[in-house]
Amino acid sequence: MMHRILILASGNGSLAQALIDAQELDIEIVAIISDQDDAHVLVRAQNAGIHTQVIKVGSSRENWNTEIINAVVALNPDLVVSAGFMRILPPEFVNRFPTINSHPALLPDFPGAHAVRDALTAGVSVTGTTVHWVDDGVDTGPIITQMQVPVLPNDDEVTLHERIKKVERGLIVATIALILPTLERNV
């Protein structure tokens, strides 16, 4: 039996595409949920025949929290993958659903939405990517895997982030392969 994976994504969807293309994983992607109705990840999902849902944060964050929890309950995933999802998930969510996140830095260094810029500003010679369990903090959950990416002398935020994304796509697939045997399957 395949593991049921739910992907949360807000943008282009290159991490989601890596999972869609990962023939080596014994997974069924049950849906891709976005908080942005114009996110390119939704096109990628539709092209792959994957159910999509948009849950926008409206005037009430509490309503959004309830709506996303109810959506995930209905989909019954074994694992939630935050793949470029630019929202903090509520404690009730992360305490209920096993959730991992891919982050473009070597945590605990440079948490938050501007990790690549922060690494460049700090002048580090090496950064990278981290896959970690999501808790109710910002990029504070237990680290599962990491890979280093060198910072080159002429790097700017765009060039460095593109190199990190290439590593990140392989690492998210490898990390899911690593943790799938540890997950309970929802039947």
Q: Which residues are catalytic?
A: 103
Within 10 angstroms of residue 105's Cβ, the number of other Cβ atoms is 23
Q: Is 60 helix (H, G, I), strand (E, B) or coil?
A: coil
Sheet holding 52-54, edge to edge: 52-54, 27-34, 3-8, 79-82, 99-103, 126-133, 143-150
Q: Is 168 exposed, middle or buried (0-12, 13-18, 19+ CB in 10 A)?
A: buried
**b/e map of 45-77 (b: 16 or more CB within 10 Å)?**
beeeebebbebeeeeeeeebbebbbeebeebeb
